[in-house]
Copies of this chain bind each other. A is one copy, B any other.
Amino acid sequence: MSESIDHLRDTFRATGRRWTSQRRLILGVLEESDIHLDAETLFVRAKARDSDISLATVYRTLGVLKEMGLVEEHSLGEEHAHFEAVRDQPHYHFVCLGCGRVIEFDAPQMAQIEQSVSKREGVCVTDIHLRLSGYCARCQETMGGQCGDQE
């Protein structure tokens, strides 16, 4: 999502998709809030600027952007999906069960894991979802430091 809006317009055109005001708006919202949003939040922020936009359009646009490889869908909490603009290198998520904070991290060891599974099982891996959950430093403090024994 770091490429210019003009370049995106061309990408849309090149794939026979239309460059509509709603799609521009949704891309704008995604661009300026580079965190993980759910569809509802994205909808609210878009609606603040164009009160006529509908939630269905948000979902349909997110579907198109996924097809185009511009956004990824994650199930960060267990509930509803979150979306994020695709970045250069892959990265993974830690989700705090206390405050919901999301921390991103890289894990070079994933390449080994992927390789060894591919070789051992003869499969071909196209996608990796890794999510750690637990408690962030701040939430551990407010809980008294015991970790792992809460359920």
Binding site for B on A (CB under 8 A): 67, 69, 73, 75, 78, 81, 94, 96-97, 103, 105, 107, 109-110, 112-114, 116-117, 120-137, 140, 147-148, 150-151
**How far, in angstroms, from A140 to B112 measured CA to CA in the complex?**
21
Give me 11 A-to-B residue pairs in the complex whose CB atoms sit less than 8 angstroms apart, sorted by A's number. Answer: A94-B123, A97-B126, A110-B113, A122-B136, A123-B140, A125-B132, A126-B134, A126-B147, A128-B130, A129-B130, A130-B130
Q: Indicate if the CB atoms of B103 and A107 lie closer than 8 Å.
A: no
Interface centre among A109, A125, A132, A135 (most CB of B within 10 A): A132
**How far, in angstroms, from A130 to B116 measured CA to CA in the complex?**
15
